[in-house]
Amino acid sequence: MAMAARSAGAAARPTLPVMRTVADLRRAVAAWRAAGQTVGLVPTMGALHAGHLALVRRAQADCDRTIVTLFVNPTQFGAGEDFAAYPRDEAEDGTKLAAVGADLLFAPEVAEMYPDGFATTVTVAGLTDGLCGPARPGHFAGVATVVTKLLLQSLPDAAYFGEKDYQQLLVIRRLARDLDIPVRIEGVPTVRDADGLALSSRNRYLSAGERAAAVALPMILRHVAERLADPTRVVADETARARDALLQAGFTRIDYVEVCDAETLEPLAHVTRPARVLAAAWLGSTRLIDNMPVSSA
Ligand code: AMP
């Protein structure tokens, strides 16, 4: 079914097929494969912004066909998190995807993804022990399970994920390798607003005052990343100062500010190899995350 209807006399608008079942998705992919075409997959929870569209464009640059998935995955939200409130606007998302020329939107119902009797969970050890893992119990198991399903349902050549969710990107790389899923996992740099705040579907929860304060997060992380390019500097000193600066700027709670190995996420005391500074902090009831590379000298 095409989402963008044509009205009489109006110029033809781009159309975007929307599929709800795994069977339909597999039929579409099989037809592309039979024609010798490559396929890219962009998993999302919708409420699409320019960050998501950067993933779509990257997939389009690499692959003949691009599938975008829209599924607000209940199993990756904890009790008391924002599953019910999470912004949902499939019509608006469809319009944006049609405009950029995505080939297919896969938007299954919860019952299609988790039918009665569903009993399997994918967990990735180690990488999920720190950072957002302890703060969001069960989150990465929910993400790993749904992404594994999406990869196996569509069997793309490549799947695209944002560096904005850096720990998630590494978790997904790990599970694809460990489970021998034949797909390239590609990371795409974070898309930011003009003032530096990383685009996020959750930014719309921020009041005007909170939005103004939010810019401190990327500014402070950038400062830490720049200072730690000097390997003699002590990570714990820089992260302690960053925590103070975030609270000073109006953040109400800090889950973590850490500097970790860019591949293993092992916490570092000094930056002597490729590293990432990562943070999660709250403005009122909104939790923001961000991260930046630290290039060791
Ligand atoms: P979400 O819909 O928030 O689950 O995100 C879907 C995908 O978009 C994930 O791979 C995210 O990392 C990615 N993404 C979200 N925000 C951004 C951003 N500002 N820049 C680049 N990628 C992003």
Domain extent at residue 267: 201-294
Average pLDDT of the segment spanning 32-47: 98
Q: Does 50 score more than 60 pLDDT?
A: yes
Position in ligand 1 atom list of the atom nearest CA 189: 21
Closest residue CA from atom 10 of ligand 1: 161
Together in a domain, 85 and 158: yes
Q: What's the CATH code of the domain at 10?
A: 3.40.50.620
DSSP string, 12-81: PPP--BEE-SHHHHHHHHHHHHHTT--EEEEEE-SS--HHHHHHHHHHHHH-SEEEEEE---GGGSPTTS
pLDDT band at 142 (very low <50, low <70, confident <90, very high): very high
Answer yes or no: is 196 within a domain: no
180 and 132 belong to one structural domain: yes
Q: What is the mean pLDDT of residues 98-117?
A: 98
Q: What is the pLDDT of residue 14?
A: 78
Is residue 74 located within the same domain as residue 173? yes
Judgement on whether residues 55 and 155 belong to the same structural domain of the protein: yes
**What does the mean pLDDT of the chain come to?**
95
Count CA atoms within 13 Å of residue 16 on its CB side.
24
User: Taking a C-beta distance cutoff of 8 angstroms, is the pair 265, 127 a contact?
Assistant: yes
Could you tell me if residue 193 is inside a domain? no
270 carries an active-site annotation = no
- 38 and 82 within one domain: yes
* Residue 266 CA to ligand 1 centre (angstroms): 23
**pLDDT tens readout for residues 144-197:** 999 999 999 999 999 999 999 999 999 999 999 999 999 999 999 999 999 999
Number of domains present in the structure of the chain: 2
Instruction: Please compute the mean of the pLDDT values over residues 10-34 and round it to a whole number.
Output: 91
Same structural domain, 107 and 227: no
- Say yes or no: 258 and 123 in one domain: no
Distance between Cα 201 and ligand 1 center (Å):
8
Last-in-domain residue among 163, 188, 213? 188
> What is the value of pTM for the model shown?
0.95
Which CATH number characterizes residue 275's domain?
Answer: 3.30.1300.10
| Boundary of a domain, candidates 159, 188, 217 | 188
Q: Give the span between the Cα atoms of 62 and 286, in whole angstroms.
A: 35
Question: How far, in Å, CA of 205 to CA of 269, rounded?
Answer: 35
- Which residues does a 6 A CB cutoff place in the pocket of ligand 1? 44-45, 51-52, 54-55, 161-162, 164-165, 188, 190-191, 198-201
Binning the chain into helix, strand and coil, the percentages to the nearest 5 are 40, 20, 40
pLDDT above 50 (res 6): no
Identify whether residues 117 and 207 lie together within a single domain: no
**The pLDDT of residue 2 is above 50:** no
Q: Is residue 121 part of a domain?
A: yes
| Nearest protein Cα to ligand 1, atom 11 | 162
Same domain for 284 and 147? no
124 plus 171 within the same structural domain: yes
Q: How far is the CA of 250 from the centre of ligand 1 (A)?
A: 25
Residues 30 and 146 in one domain: yes
Q: Is residue 10 part of a domain?
A: yes
